[in-house]
C-alpha cells in the first residue's frame, strides 16, 4: 500500500523532476531540459514558454554543477508563494539528496525576523538560514549583526540593487509593482506613466482598489517616502482617497475584483494577474507598469545565513541551489516571480505583455530601507488610510 509520504514524493518528482532531466514537468508547464545526476550536457538550453535561449557565459549555474547537499539544516521560511518554496525544499531533501534533511519553521517573514532577534538576545538562534519573502526582514536581521558574509561568487549571480552591498543577504526572486486594470473598461493608454498622475483622473473616480494593510503595499509607500519625501507621499495618499478607493485585505483580492469589474484598476504586485489569467484565460484583466519612480519598485524574496550557524558551507550551498537556472525557471513558471539570476527569462504572461526588469527601470533605492515601516504605518494612520 502506498503511504501518504510516498504519494507526496511522487507528486514532487512530477512537478520538479523536469528541471534535472529525470521526468517532465506537471502537465501544462513548459519543459525544462538539463542533465540528470547520471548524465551531463555540455550545452544546456533554457526553455521557458515558447522561447528557447542559451544560457550566457557567467549566468546562473546549473544545479548539476553544485556539490551535493549533505547534512541537516534548520531553515526559517517566510510564508508566501503558494507553498512553492517549501515544495522545493522537500524536493531537495526527499528526492535529490538522500543524505540531506531540513527542519522548516514557517511564519510571517517579519515575525521570524523578530524571533531570530529574540533568540539571539537569549543566546543564539537555532536557525542556519533565514529565507524571507521581503528584503526588509532580511535587512533587520543583518543590521543587528546576525548575518554571515556570503561568498562573492554567490551574491555576484544577482545584480547589485537586489542584494545587500555588504553581502549579508541575496535576493532570489523579484516582484514588480503594477497596475492591474479591467480591459472592458480601460485601455493601456488610460494608465498614466506615473502613479502620481492617477489621483484626480475622472476615469478612476470610485473605481480604484488597494490593500493598505498588506506588506507589499506598505513597502511601496515606504519606497515613495524615501524617494519623494513624506509631504508628497501624504499628498498622494490623500489624493487617491479623494478619488475614491476600495480597500482590500490583500492584493489578490484587488486583482480579482478588477477582473470582476467591481473596480476598474488597482495597485498590486504583478504576479496576481498572471495567476488569475492562468486559471481563467478569458478574464478581462491586463497589467500596466509605471517607470522609474516608486510605482516601478521591484522588491525581492531572499536569504541569508546566520553567523551563529556551524554549517556555513552547507547553508551557503543550499542558498546557491535557489539561484540555479533550473530552480529559477521553476519559480518563474509556478510562482510567476521575476528571476534574479542572469540568463533566465522572465515569466511568460501569455496575453499579458510582461516587460523585463531593465525595461521596468526600477528606482534606485536600497531595499534595506524598506524595513523602516513604522513611519509608513504612522503616515497611513494619520491620513486615515488605515
Query: What integer pLDDT is reported at residue 46 of this predicted model?
Result: 29
d(CA 207, CA 226): 28
Place of cell 545587500: 164
d(CA 198, CA 202): 9
Query: What integer pLDDT is reported at residue 55 of this predicted model?
Result: 35
Residue 33 pLDDT class (50, 70, 90 cuts): very low
Which tens digits make up the pLDDT trace of 206-262? 999 999 998 889 999 999 999 999 999 999 999 999 999 999 999 999 999 999 999
Mean pLDDT of 296-304: 94
Q: Among 162, 354, 171, which residue's Cα sits nearest to residue 275?
A: 354
Query: What integer pLDDT is reported at residue 44 of this predicted model?
Result: 27
Answering whether pTM is above 0.85, one says no
Q: Are 127 and 306 in contact (CB under 8 A)?
A: yes
Which tens digits make up the pLDDT trace of 52-71? 223 333 578 999 999 999 99
d(CA 287, CA 271): 10
Residue 34 pLDDT class (50, 70, 90 cuts): very low
d(CA 348, CA 148): 35
Query: What integer pLDDT is reported at residue 117 of this predicted model?
Result: 96
Q: Which of 23-37, 232-246, 369-383 has the highest mean pLDDT?
A: 232-246
Residue 47 makes CB contacts below 8 A (sequence gap 6+) with 30, 31, 32, 33, 329
Q: Are 53 and 345 in contact (CB under 8 A)?
A: yes
Q: Are 129 and 315 in contact (CB under 8 A)?
A: yes
d(CA 62, CA 267): 36
d(CA 352, CA 217): 22
CATH of range 175-297+352-382; options 3.40.630.10, 1.20.1260.10, 3.40.50.720, 3.40.190.10: 3.40.190.10
Mean pLDDT of 290-306: 92
Query: What integer pLDDT is reported at residue 63 of this predicted model?
Result: 94
Residue 334 pLDDT class (50, 70, 90 cuts): confident
Residue 81 pLDDT class (50, 70, 90 cuts): low
Strands 268-269 and 170-182: antiparallel
4's grid cell: 501518504
d(CA 283, CA 22): 35
Place of cell 492562468: 278
In terms of Cβ atoms closer than 10 Å to its own Cβ (0-12, 13-18, 19+), residue 241 is: middle
335's grid cell: 510562482
Query: What integer pLDDT is reported at residue 326 of this predicted model?
Result: 93
pLDDT above 60 for 366: yes
Q: What is the CA radius of gyration of the chain?
A: 21
Which tens digits make up the pLDDT trace of 142-194? 999 999 999 999 999 999 989 999 999 999 999 999 999 999 999 999 999 99
| 3-state SS assignment for residue 338 | strand
Residue 292 pLDDT class (50, 70, 90 cuts): confident
pLDDT above 60 for 83: yes
Cα end-to-end span (Å), the chain: 53
Amino acid at each position: 500500500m502506498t503511504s501518504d509520504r510516498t504519494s507526496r514524493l511522487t507528486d514532487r518528482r512530477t512537478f520538479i523532476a523536469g528541471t534535472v532531466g529525470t521526468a517532465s514537468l506537471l502537465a501544462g508547464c513548459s519543459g525544462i531540459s538539463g542533465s540528470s545526476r547520471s548524465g551531463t550536457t555540455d550545452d544546456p538550453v533554457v526553455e521557458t514558454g515558447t522561447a528557447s535561449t542559451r544560457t550566457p557565459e557567467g549566468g546562473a549555474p546549473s544545479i548539476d554543477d553544485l556539490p551535493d547537499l549533505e547534512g541537516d539544516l534548520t531553515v526559517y521560511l517566510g510564508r508566501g508563494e503558494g507553498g512553492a518554496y517549501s515544495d522545493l525544499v522537500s524536493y531537495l531533501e526527499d528526492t535529490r539528496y538522500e543524505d540531506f534533511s531540513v527542519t522548516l519553521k514557517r511564519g510571517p517573514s517579519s515575525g521570524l525576523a523578530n524571533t531570530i532577534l529574540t533568540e539571539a538576545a537569549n543566546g543564539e538562534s537555532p536557525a542556519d538560514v533565514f529565507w524571507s519573502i521581503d528584503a526588509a526582514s532580511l535587512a533587520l536581521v543583518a543590521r543587528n549583526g546576525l548575518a554571515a558574509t556570503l561568498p562573492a561568487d554567490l551574491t555576484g549571480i544577482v545584480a547589485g540593487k537586489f542584494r545587500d552591498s555588504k553581502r549579508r543577504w541575496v535576493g532570489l526572486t523579484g516582484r514588480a509593482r503594477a497596475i492591474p486594470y479591467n480591459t472592458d473598461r480601460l485601455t493601456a493608454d488610460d494608465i498614466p506613466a506615473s502613479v502620481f498622475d492617477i489621483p484626480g483622473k475622472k476615469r478612476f473616480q470610485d473605481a480604484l482598489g488597494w490593500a493598505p494593510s498588506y506588506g507589499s503595499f506598505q513597502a511601496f509607500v515606504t519606497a515613495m517616502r524615501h524617494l519623494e519625501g513624506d509631504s508628497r507621499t501624504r499628498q498622494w495618499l490623500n489624493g487617491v482617497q479623494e478619488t475614491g478607493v476600495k480597500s482590500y485585505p490583500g492584493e489578490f483580492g484587488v486583482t480579482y475584483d478588477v477582473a470582476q469589474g467591481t473596480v476598474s484598476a488597482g495597485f498590486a504586485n504583478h504576479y496576481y494577474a498572471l495567476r488569475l489569467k492562468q486559471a481563467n484565460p478569458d478574464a478581462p484583466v491586463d497589467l500596466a507598469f509605471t517607470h522609474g519612480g516608486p510605482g516601478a519598485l521591484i522588491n525581492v524574496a531572499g536569504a541569508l545565513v546566520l553567523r551563529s550557524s556551524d554549517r556555513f558551507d552547507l547553508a551557503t550551498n543550499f542558498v546557491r541551489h535557489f539561484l540555479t537556472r533550473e530552480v529559477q525557471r521553476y519559480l518563474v513558471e509556478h510562482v510567476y516571480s521575476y528571476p534574479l539570476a542572469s540568463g533566465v527569462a522572465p515569466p511568460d504572461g501569455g496575453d499579458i505583455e510582461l516587460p523585463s526588469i531593465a525595461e521596468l527601470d526600477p528606482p534606485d533605492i536600497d531595499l534595506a530601507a524598506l524595513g523602516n515601516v513604522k513611519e509608513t504605518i504612522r503616515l497611513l494612520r494619520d491620513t486615515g488610510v488605515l
